[in-house]
Structure 1
Amino acid sequence: MPWKQESVMDKRVKLISDWLSGSYSKSQLSRRHSISRPTVDKWIARYDAKGPDGLKDLSSKPHHCPHQTSDEIISRLLEKKNEHLDRGPKQLIHRLRNAEPEIAWPAASTAGAWLKKAGLVSTRKRAHPRPHGAAKLREANEPNQTWCADFKGQFRTKDDRWCYPLTITDHASRYLLLCKALPGTHGEPTRQGFEWAFREYGMPDVIRTDNGSPFASTGLARLSSLSVWFIRLGIYPETIKPGRPDQNGRHERMHRTLKAAVLKPAADNLMRQQLVFEDFVHDFNHYRPHTALGMKVPSDLYSPSPRIYPGYVPAAEYDSDVDIRRVRSNGEIKWKGSHIFLGEALIGEQVALKEVDDDTWDLYLCTYPLGRLERGAKRVSSL
């Protein structure tokens, strides 16, 4: 049978028991229990003050932490978060510091911990890594090199009507150029939204979208009536790969912010929803700092394009070394005795055929490549 080991608490209880018996002086207790005289005094004093609880080990936690966040600071942080539920700790602390720089606001990580403790942070699902295929997308490091566009998922306003938000952003600066509440994704209202943006901000070099309607189609070169209009204005329509929304990731991130900020709940009708969108656009561009921009706001980096929208579609111009054909009302051209179908999106347009080899021609709309045509072929093949 093993020897019974005496705990530290047992030794303290035995010390106090001997003291209370009256048979020992403090000096004798010191020698009997092999401890110093001050230690005897300490445990007797703690027993007199708190009884048996005084013999327990005290917490090593400091009574005061100079870096502890005050209740007032926490209250202000939670109040600001409740005003802007879509903002994270970095944005909240950045805005609070700008408004009241004289206050020692905590670090964003500390603010995040308090928000999480208060139940104001929703845990985001971890995204599975996507395969990184080669993306033939043009670089856009300056404003107006590339604009990104999409429709945020549709929802119903309180009057039970559908709302399809058309959104356009500048890729480099994240500036939100347009957030328009539309009743659908039809081509003409969408075109009017872009036309407003062109008049307000000028024209970009590239417009990047997904492959859905009205931006693209299943026809030749995936062109739609809208993308044909872009080409005629000298804008290159660029589509991401199907199933790769990460290729338009900055725009998708803005959509997440938009949904959190203004779509819970939806407004009474489209007109009121548009007013909510306009408030969001102003705040997003001028007051919301972005980590990727070094905590600057988009308006700090964006400036309108020098490419002025002419208000009309210029005539298509081609070099003299090409053959020109007009696309007929049935979507066809006549070439070398054959009727070649190009698609409805190109009806009425003049296209150019440039010979690149014996009996082989490349087909263009302005400078945009449509495909390759060989003698005797019944359709245009991809380049």
Structure 2
Amino acid sequence: MSHRNARLTVHGRRLLIQRVCSGRPVAHVAAEMGISRATAHKWVRRWQAEGDPGLFDRSSRPRTTPHRTAPGTEAAVCGLRQARKLGPARIGPILGLPASTVHRILTRHGLNRLAWLDRPTGEPVRRYERSRPGELVHVDIKKLGNIPDGGGWRTVGRTTGNQNRQNTTDLRKSCKPVIGYSYIHSAVDDHSRLAYSEVLADERQHTAIGFWQRAHAFFTGHGVTVERVLTDNGSCYKSKLFTQALTADGITHKRIRPYRPQTNGKVERFNRTLQEEWAYLRPYTSNDERTAALADFLHSYNHHRCHTALDGKPPISRVNNPAGQYI
């Protein structure tokens, strides 16, 4: 393989062949070009055998590896990794192999990172992406505890936080104030990762239907025609009314297999981003303040925040006709 100090590039090798073919001695040409006679003869032989393609670099990988670990041993390493989730330092003593050898085996089979494995089955995670916006939209709900007016105990301490809870609500359970929860309904396009979210009071079927109607209008406004919606098996999504609301717009409703949230992984990962970059980003003094900050986060996420799955570009870059593109 060529390197930064290589004397010959492909162009240089062609010059070498031209000079040799003109009748000049190989030794003289090699001296002019600052290479050894053996190197010059090597490129001449390759050109004679393969023609112009023979002047390009080849892989430095050996054709045979006689000392490579036996296939049966590699299978045993992979089996321990997938079944027991062990690392190289623990697999090595079990099979009598150096940890470095185990690590190379795991890397060769794509098992060196546990994050790349499906935890229940131990199989490598299968990633997919739809080919166009709107072909599949993931929908899910994230439950967050409400923030009392003035801030919760994590922000202002136990004493003040408990006082804020007492002053915020009249609801009581076992003599303790009940702040309740907020439900963040989210929809994420599989291809573009364009996202829409709302903070709502519950996760009932009529609430979920209303959210989807507004989310559908959001995607339509960005030129995205929704074809399928994928949800989990929550009660609001299992209701006939929710499916009928989708069918009325010509949308197919799909539900994931029970106990397999990985299938809906794109919106599950978006829920984690919501927590890290919005819900728990900074101390909020009230639930209304946190809710008001959601709009700015969504705009930043869709239009400015780089996405690793999109080669560092924001989701709006994959939308067919984002607002204002042709103005």
The structure richer in strand per residue is 1
TM-score where L is the length of structure 1: 0.41
Q: Which structure would you say has the larger RCO, counting Cα contacts within 8 Å and 6 or more residues apart?
A: 2
Structure index of larger Rg? 1
